[in-house]
């Protein structure tokens, strides 16, 4: 009896905690609210299963607990029941997988009108490179890296000559403008996470990975590295500021001087 | 209704091997140190695993202290924190749980449960333990070398694992890699032994489909390990070569600390694929023995046959096979080709179906049972709660889209602790209490055991449930501290503090547990040979604890499956596997 009650308290307490505690996602600031919906859907389906199965256990603990005259039933198996449970579970799982796969397709395909910009992660700081007037980022290689050219821009590539380089951990983005972040590292693995954007992706030295998002809410957001990259990992913070169109325009004209 | 699993009359086949010749040790050293008796080796494995596991437990306290009260404890700096995370994770997964389930429970239970006198290669078995012991010594040595132990995370990802900027990138990482390689060599010796013993040394009448699920779980887990560990073995060797000989398996051209590195052309993602090709099955190497054991505990203490035995066996086999095609669900945000996400999300969610079936069958075993709330049963119920909870969050992380906001946060840490740390540990505790009277011939102290249960059960839930929500809020894993952000409310810190308090209390309860185990072995009440009225062969031995050679003059002959509990028309509520059909009614 006592065990059943403790079990029920823990299980129902979990539901109450989930619904009433103030601790949940930070408000979203990007286009990925569909991702939040899949999380909610998964919470509903799995939450129901979690509660039902555990209540069933608690019920059994009370109903079938040992008494002197009690004897268990002898029932090796029931193919029928097992088949029904398999079908039911498969349906529940498909209901969570299908929307997941559909949205994953959006995650891996940046829209045509998205703007490319490079994020460079190094132990333990952030820099950014935006295309100049030609709209293209120039080629880069570790072998071109020098003290004056820390990003390793290829001096012979004309596209690279007008690239705008930002050595500051603060990145400005324009609201409602989809951005594809091209992630490049010159030392170890890192990760690009803005909790309010929901999406995240690792940097892998030797290749360029990508992730895209459309910032939809003006504001200033923390940028975190979420892939262990050495002792400075926890301190590798940056900032992403989403500006209104006007604010971004005045800023863009200023930052060409940063070149 | 078709009673297929229960065929009392089927022909009893002769054993596949005759009586084996036992090795009788002549010296004290041969009997207790270099013993070739699987039961002694089992205790050596378990003792070593628990001892090093205590180190991992203490490391978890240090991590928790830092997270709850950052900048209060001077000895915990960022480097030390990462070293603690890494050593804690690696010890818990490999050196504690894998060694305890396979080396400990496997050695003790396989020969006894299949009706063999010992493992088929006793000498190899002895060597296997000492090789494992060497691996533990190498691992422990890395705490003391210059630069300290590695702080690369238990996943040991290159390039950072072997570059300055990560703690222990000099000697620590090499010792870790060497220790893992040695562990795998030792495990392979033991593992081949378990598999061959199960396939070849079962006693007369012990068909595969009459084996207790404990043996099935350990059997399939061992096969998984034999296939999965080689991937880790080669990655350990390749990474060591990158360090020692300057090869570039995993190392691309990089800048390190302002200088151009000497490597070119390697691929860090190659390591991640190899690591998780091992790492995912590793989860099941820990889980399957737990599944098997908990099936038997629930059945015995509910006095009812396990529901759907054949389905349970097939589920273990199918889960084992599928566990080799889901590895990249750990890599959705790793920078691998993101299109892989479609395939791995699908396989991962498919594996949930046989897993869910196992849960249903455990729960249906309780239904219309005669439930004795003994300590092993209580721990089995606790296992169910943690496993169901962790299984549910697995559906978040396996589904690529849903996992994206959650990956690399404390949600992941909470998930895997629920499903592959606390849940198997509940089974370990339940199993130790269950077989304790057989192993020592004495009873543990019931009051201390109940204290241990309630504190561990409720406490662990209070540790890991709130941790999910820190992750949802966006707290990353492997973070020394996370002050100064704009998205975390101050109350997050009070969640952290309460988790730490619960963790310290749970840790204290484990000390009571060990105290109970050690003292009761000497002054516990004497226990009878089959105190739980169980059917399986280890409870039918002539002496308790079982002597050298396990059984008496003759090996038992098996006439029925392991789950003849509360058979209608039979007065006792259990029929041991070695009772012939004509004697069952008496
Ligand atoms: C009371 C018991 C335990 C507590 C309080 C605890 C606590 C922790 C904490 C605080 C972390 C680090 C979180 C971070 O900063 O990333 C961690 C990581 C980890 N723990 Fe535990 N843990 C416990 C038991 C276990 C057990 C039994 C296992 C066995 C599977 C385990 C496996 C791991 C693993 C694999 C990691 C990840 C290490 C890494 O990120 O490299 N833990 N644990
Ligand atoms: Cu980092
Ligand atoms: Cu996995």
Q: In terms of CATH, what superfamily is B38-251+263-584? A: Cytochrome c oxidase-like, subunit I domain (1.20.210.10)
Helix (H, G, I), strand (E, B) or coil at A200: strand
* Domain-located, residue A12: yes
**Quick check: B502 contacting A, CB < 8 Å?**
no
- B234: its two tokens: 């080669």
Pair (A121, A38) in one structural domain: no
- Provide the CB-side half-sphere exposure for B119 (13 A, CA): 31
Pair (A167, A50) in one structural domain: no
Quote the CA–CA distance of B168 and B174 in Å, as a whole number.
9
Residue pair B224/B288 in contact (Cβ under 8 Å)? The answer is yes
Mean pLDDT of A255-259: 45
Q: Residue B444 CA to chain centroid, in angstroms? A: 23
User: What's the sign of the alpha-carbon dihedral B223, B225, B231, B233?
Assistant: negative
Q: What is the mean pLDDT of chain A?
A: 92
pLDDT of amino acid B4: 40
Please list the residues that pair with B574 across neighbouring strands. Answer: B565
pLDDT digits (tens, 9 = 90+) for B158-214: 999 999 999 999 999 999 999 999 999 999 999 999 999 999 999 999 999 999 999
Alpha carbon of B463 to those of B96, B129, B299, B501: distances in Å?
A: 20, 34, 29, 8
Q: CB under 8 Å to A50, separation ≥6 — which residues?
A: A11, A14, B388, B389, B392
Task: Give the ligand with the smallest distance to the CA of A228.
Answer: 2
Pair (A100, A163) in one structural domain: no
- B256: its two tokens: 């390190």
Q: Which value does ipTM take for this structure?
A: 0.95
Pair (A98, A125) in one structural domain: no
pLDDT of amino acid A120: 94
Pair (A103, A203) in one structural domain: no
- B115: its two tokens: 């009706």
Q: Answer yes or no: do B476 and A66 touch at CB < 8 A.
A: no
Nearest alpha carbon to residue B16 among B95, B116, B106: B116
pLDDT of amino acid A141: 86
Residue pair B444/B433 in contact (Cβ under 8 Å)? The answer is yes
CATH code of the domain containing A240: 2.60.40.420
Pair (A155, A228) in one structural domain: yes
Helix axes B423-440, B375-398, angle to 10 degrees: 150
**Quick check: B394 contacting A, CB < 8 Å?**
no
Give the closest-approach CA distance of A195 to chain B in angstroms.
6
- What DSSP assignment string belongs to B131-165? HHHHHHHHHHHTTTSTT-S--STTTT-TTGGGSTT
pLDDT of amino acid A258: 44
Alpha carbon of A187 to those of A201, B62, B162, B262, B348: distances in Å?
A: 16, 30, 12, 12, 32
pLDDT of amino acid B1: 32
Pair (A96, A150) in one structural domain: no
Nearest alpha carbon to residue B392 among B435, B359, B429, B425: B359
Which residue, A56, A89, A107, sits at the end of a domain? A107
Nearest alpha carbon to residue B376 among B306, B446, B441: B446
Q: Find the distance separating the first CA and the last CA of chain B, reported in whole Å.
A: 25
Q: Answer yes or no: do A64 and B485 touch at CB < 8 A.
A: no
Q: Which residues of chain B have pLDDT under 70?
A: 1-19, 584-586
Nearest alpha carbon to residue A234 among B287, B475, B264: B475
pTM: 0.95
Residue pair B143/B70 in contact (Cβ under 8 Å)? The answer is no
Quote the CA–CA distance of B210 and B433 in Å, as a whole number.
24
Pair (A144, A221) in one structural domain: yes
Structural domain count of chain A: 2
Nearest alpha carbon to residue B535 among B214, B172, B76, B106: B214
Nearest CA in chain A to B408: A226
pLDDT digits (tens, 9 = 90+) for B391-430: 999 999 999 999 999 999 999 999 999 999 999 999 999 9
pLDDT of amino acid A1: 82
Nearest CA in chain A to B477: A226
Pair (A92, A130) in one structural domain: no
Within 8 A of A237 by CB-CB distance, chain B residues are: 484-485
Quote the CA–CA distance of A120 and A115 in Å, as a whole number.
16
Quote the CA–CA distance of B277 and B48 in Å, as a whole number.
27
* Domain-located, residue A84: yes
* Domain-located, residue A180: yes
The total number of residues shown for chain A amounts to 259
Helix (H, G, I), strand (E, B) or coil at B234: helix
pLDDT of amino acid B365: 96
Question: What is the pLDDT confidence band of residue A162, given thresholds at 50, 70 and 90?
Answer: confident
Please report, rounded to a whole number, the percentage of residues in chain B having pLDDT higher than 90. 88
Residue pair B199/B175 in contact (Cβ under 8 Å)? The answer is no
Pair (A95, A133) in one structural domain: no
Nearest alpha carbon to residue B474 among A36, A117, A16, A175: A36
Quote the CA–CA distance of B8 and B13 in Å, as a whole number.
13
Pair (A136, A52) in one structural domain: no
pLDDT of amino acid A255: 57
Nearest alpha carbon to residue B368 among A26, A64, A231, A78: A64
**Quick check: B252 contacting A, CB < 8 Å?**
yes
Ligand 1, pocket-test mutation among B417, B455, B467, B475, most atoms within 8 A of CB: B417
- Provide the CB-side half-sphere exposure for A178 (13 A, CA): 13
Nearest alpha carbon to residue A53 among A5, A16, A7, A20: A7
Q: Find the distance separating the first CA and the last CA of chain A, reported in whole Å.
A: 73
Residue of B356, B370, B402 lying closest to A72 (CB–CB): B370
Q: Which of residues 155-194 of B touch A (CB under 8 A)?
A: 157, 159-160, 163, 165-167
pLDDT digits (tens, 9 = 90+) for A218-248: 999 999 999 999 999 999 999 999 999 999 9
Alpha carbon of A235 to those of A196, B78, B485, B538: distances in Å?
A: 19, 10, 11, 55
Domain extent, residue A250, equals: 115-258
**Quick check: A51 contacting B, CB < 8 Å?**
no
Pair (A45, A137) in one structural domain: no
Residue with tokens 């997941």: A100
Nearest CA in chain A to B384: A54
Give the closest-approach CA distance of B241 to chain A in angstroms.
18
Decide if pLDDT at A256 tops 50. no
User: Measured in angstroms, how far is the CA atom of residue A189 from the centroid of ligand 2?
Assistant: 7
Q: Answer yes or no: do A93 and B349 touch at CB < 8 A.
A: yes
Helix (H, G, I), strand (E, B) or coil at B255: strand
pLDDT of amino acid B13: 53
Please list the residues that pair with B526 across neighbouring strands. Answer: B442
pLDDT digits (tens, 9 = 90+) for B328-361: 999 999 999 999 999 999 999 999 999 999 999 9
* Domain-located, residue A71: no
Task: Please give the residue that has the higher pLDDT: either A150 or A217.
Answer: A217
């Amino acid at each position: 009896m006592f065990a059943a009650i403790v079990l029920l308290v823990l299980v129902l307490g979990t539901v109450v905690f989930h619904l009433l505690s103030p601790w949940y996602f930070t408000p979203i600031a990007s286009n990925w609210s569909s991702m939040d919906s899949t999380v909610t859907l998964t919470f509903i389906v799995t939450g129901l299963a979690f509660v039902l199965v555990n209540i069933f256990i608690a019920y059994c603990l009370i109903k079938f607990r040992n008494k002197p005259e009690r004897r268990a039933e002898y029932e090796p198996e029931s193919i029928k029941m097992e088949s029904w449970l398999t079908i039911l579970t498969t349906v529940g799982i498909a209901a969570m997988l299908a929307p997941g796969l559909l949205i994953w397709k959006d995650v891996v395909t940046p829209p045509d009108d998205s703007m490319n910009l490079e994020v460079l992660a190094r132990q333990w700081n952030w820099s950014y490179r935006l295309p100049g007037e030609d709209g293209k980022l120039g080629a880069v290689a570790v072998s071109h890296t020098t003290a004056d050219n820390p990003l390793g821009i290829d001096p012979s590539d004309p596209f690279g000559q007008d690239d705008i380089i930002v050595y500051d951990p603060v990145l400005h983005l324009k609201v409602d403008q989809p951005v594809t972040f091209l992630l490049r590292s010159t030392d170890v693995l890192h990760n690009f996470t803005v909790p309010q954007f929901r999406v995240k992706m690792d940097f892998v030295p030797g290749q360029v990975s990508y992730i895209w998002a459309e910032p939809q809410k003006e504001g200033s957001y923390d940028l975190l590295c979420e892939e262990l990259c050495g002792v400075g990992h926890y301190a590798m913070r940056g900032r992403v500021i989403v500006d209104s169109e006007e604010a971004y325009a005045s800023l863009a004209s200023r930052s060409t001087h940063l070149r | 209704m078709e009673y297929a699993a229960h065929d009392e009359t089927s022909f009893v086949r002769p054993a596949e091997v005759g009586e084996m010749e036992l090795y009788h040790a002549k010296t004290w050293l041969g009997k207790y140190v270099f013993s070739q008796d699987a039961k002694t080796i089992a205790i050596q494995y378990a003792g070593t695993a628990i001892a090093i596991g205590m180190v991992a437990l203490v490391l978890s306290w240090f991590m928790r202290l830092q997270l709850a009260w950052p900048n209060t404890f001077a000895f915990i700096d960022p480097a030390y924190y990462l070293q603690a995370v890494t050593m804690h994770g690696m010890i818990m997964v490999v050196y504690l749980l894998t060694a305890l389930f396979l080396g400990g429970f496997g050695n003790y239970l396989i020969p006894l449960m299949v009706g063999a006198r010992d493992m088929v290669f006793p000498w190899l078995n002895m060597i296997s333990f000492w090789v494992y012991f060497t691996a533990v010594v190498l691992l422990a040595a890395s705490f003391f070398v210059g630069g300290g132990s590695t702080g690369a995370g238990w996943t040991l990802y290159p390039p950072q694992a072997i570059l300055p900027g990560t703690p222990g990138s000099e000697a620590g990482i090499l010792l870790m890699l060497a220790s893992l390689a040695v562990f795998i060599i030792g495990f392979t010796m033991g593992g081949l032994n378990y598999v061959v013993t199960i396939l070849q040394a079962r006693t007369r009448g012990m068909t595969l489909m009459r084996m207790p699920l404990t043996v099935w779980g350990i059997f399939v887990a061992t096969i998984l390990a034999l296939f999965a560990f080689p991937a880790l073995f080669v990655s350990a060797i390749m990474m060591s070569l990158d360090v020692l000989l300057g090869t570039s398996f995993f190392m691309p051209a990089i800048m390190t600390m302002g200088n151009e590195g000497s490597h070119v052309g390697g691929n860090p993602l190659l390591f991640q694929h190899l690591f998780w090709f091992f790492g995912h099955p590793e989860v099941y190497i820990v889980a399957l023995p737990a599944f098997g054991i908990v099936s038997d505990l629930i059945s015995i203490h509910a006095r009812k046959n396990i529901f759907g035995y054949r389905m349970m066996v097939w589920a273990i086999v199918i889960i084992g096979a599928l566990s080799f095609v889901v590895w990249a669900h750990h890599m959705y945000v790793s920078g691998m080709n993101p299109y892989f996400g479609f395939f791995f999300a699908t396989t991962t969610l498919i594996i949930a179906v046989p897993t869910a079936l196992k849960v249903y069958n455990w729960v249906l075993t309780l239904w219309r049972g005669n439930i004795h709330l003994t300590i092993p049963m209580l721990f089995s119920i606790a296992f169910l709660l943690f496993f169901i909870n962790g299984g549910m969050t697995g559906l978040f992380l396996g589904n690529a889209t849903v996992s994206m906001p959650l990956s690399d946060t404390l949600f992941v840490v909470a998930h895997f602790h629920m499903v592959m740390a606390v849940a198997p540990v509940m089974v370990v505790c339940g199993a130790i209490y269950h077989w304790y009277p057989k192993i020592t011939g004495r009873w543990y102290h019931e009051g201390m055991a109940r204290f241990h249960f309630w504190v561990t059960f409720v406490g662990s839930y209070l540790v890991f449930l709130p941790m999910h929500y820190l992750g949802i809020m966006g707290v990353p894993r492997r973070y020394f501290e996370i002050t100064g952000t704009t998205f975390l409310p101050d109350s997050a810190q009070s969640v952290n503090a309460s988790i730490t308090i619960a963790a310290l209390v749970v840790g204290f309860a484990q000390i009571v547990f060990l105290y109970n185990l050690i003292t009761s072995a000497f002054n516990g009440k004497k226990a009878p040979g089959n105190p739980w009225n169980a059917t399986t062969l280890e409870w039918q031995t002539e002496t308790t604890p079982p002597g050298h050679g396990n059984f008496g003059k003759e090996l038992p002959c098996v006439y029925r499956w392991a789950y003849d509990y509360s058979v209608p028309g039979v007065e006792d509520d259990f029929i041991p596997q070695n009772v012939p059909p004509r004697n069952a009614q008496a």
